[in-house]
Structure 1
Amino acid sequence: MNSANLSRKERERLMRRQAMLEAARAVFAEKGYANATLEEIAQRAEFGKGTLYNYFPGGKDELFFAVFEEVFAQFQELIDAAFTPAASFREGFEAFVRASFAFFAQHHEVLLLVMRESQRMLLSPEPERAAFFQDQYNRVVQHLSRHIQGAIERNEVKPLPPEAVAHTLIGNLHGIHMHLMLKACQHLPAQRQALIDSEAAAHFLCTLLLEGLLKP
């Protein structure tokens, strides 16, 4: 629903909820799920712990799931915004990669959160936690798969299984993000910093994945 159509009370409630999510995202990124506490999240959001329970009755678990739902929803929006009808598949994919770099540069705590918690959730011994993460990840894969299928139908890319291609592309994007994060933590001479630049990193990833490593 458009926020302009909401009452003042409803808008204020949404703003408070968003403030809680942003505080939770920061605390989870810094401490990890296991070490994060509702008290610290409430303090960061500048609300009482009881107020957090009014918005998220499930406590820390519900907040954690809500944070990841928001992150995955933002990724789906980045995909849909990048693959415009007028763009070729390469143009759309490169635009998506650049947008993801820009997003994580602006929201570094999200990158830390995803890197720290995604594998832990996927491999969790708790079935509901693993199923939640798998469902969210599959939504992103399906979003990208639809654009891959369209490119196959336009004869832009080889007729490979769209979902497998989407998994491969997202997995490699994750790897480049990890590379950039590690490089950013190191003090490197200028000549060794080529891939720290997001534009260069996007071009590198698209060239490697879409054109291959071997010379024609």
Structure 2
Amino acid sequence: MAERQRGRPRSFDREAALETATLVFWEHGYEATSVADLTRAMGIAAPSLYAAFGNKESLFTEAVQRYGRRYGAFMLRALEEEPTARGAVSRMLREAAREYTEPGRPTGCLTLIAATGGTTASPDVEESLRAVRAANIAAIESRVRADVASGELPPGTDAAALARYSAAVVQGLSQQARDGATREQLEGVAATAMRAWPA
């Protein structure tokens, strides 16, 4: 009797699976998302997930990178494209209000949401998210320092504090979006926040 051939692993679209995983992590956070949740949403078996992405942590790392490229790039684009730090942060806050409330996808920001519920079970994940947030603050601070140097902002401007303030507003917008705030409400917050900037 001939030996039965083993079935070939079911093929799947890796990019589509990664997009699905990104949305699941975005909706539920890292810690609250199980491998079972991921495989169910992605429509694959656990061995396929491990073969394609390594493990949950490495899949999450890829998901954060994908989020940054596809959904979170508006922040760096604003910092790169606007002629002043004030204009860049103003645009960044307005676009955050829109992006964080976009219908048909999770609200808020993945790099902030994923940290809620505690990530202490995975210090590497916690550290990687902290690094992403720190890089955003550093990018804002760099633009502010450049405007102080050029005279666009007053010489006594505390670039580090202004950058942290701006990042804190972004973080607040994310949480408010999770709590059900509308785009219009968040745009109001963004406009109010910009009044704290030095003339």
Question: Residue 201 in 1 paired to residue 197 in 2?
Answer: no
> TM-score, normalised to structure 1's length?
0.68
Aligned to 1:166: 163
Give structure 1 stretches of 5+ with no counterpart: 1-12, 185-192
Aligned to 1:42: 39
Kindly indicate whether the alpha-carbon contact (under 8 Å) linking 1:76 and 1:143 is maintained by their aligned counterparts in 2: no
Aligned to 2:51: 54
Question: Residue 210 in 1 paired to residue 185 in 2?
Answer: no
As a proportion of its length, which structure holds more helix?
1
In the aligned structure 2, how far is the partner of 1:178 from the partner of 1:35? 17
Once the two structures are TM-superposed, the CA of residue 56 in structure 1 deviates from its matched residue by 0.8
Distance 1:200 1:164, change over 3 A: closer
Give structure 2 stretches of 5+ with no counterpart: 1-10
1:24 equivalent among 21, 40, 46: 21
Structure of greater relative contact order (alpha carbons < 8 Å, 6+ residues apart)? 2
The higher radius of gyration belongs to 2
Aligned to 2:66: 70
SS of 1:22's equivalent in the other structure is helix
> TM-score, normalised to structure 2's length?
0.73
Distance 1:127 1:49, change over 3 A: closer
**1:81-92 equivalence runs, <5 A:** 81-83=77-79, 87-92=83-88
Report the AA paired with residue 190 of structure 2. A
Once the two structures are superposed, residues 57-96 of structure 1 have per-residue CA deviations (whole angstroms, 9 ceiling, x without a partner) of 1x11112222233334567732332135663332221111
Once the two structures are superposed, residues 114-160 of structure 1 have per-residue CA deviations (whole angstroms, 9 ceiling, x without a partner) of 45432534xx3754333222222222122222211211112222444
- Aligned pair count reads 186
In the aligned structure 2, how far is the partner of 1:126 from the partner of 1:39? 18
Distance 1:112 1:100, change over 3 A: closer
SS of 1:87's equivalent in the other structure is coil
Aligned to 1:128: 124
Kindly indicate whether the alpha-carbon contact (under 8 Å) linking 1:38 and 1:60 is maintained by their aligned counterparts in 2: yes
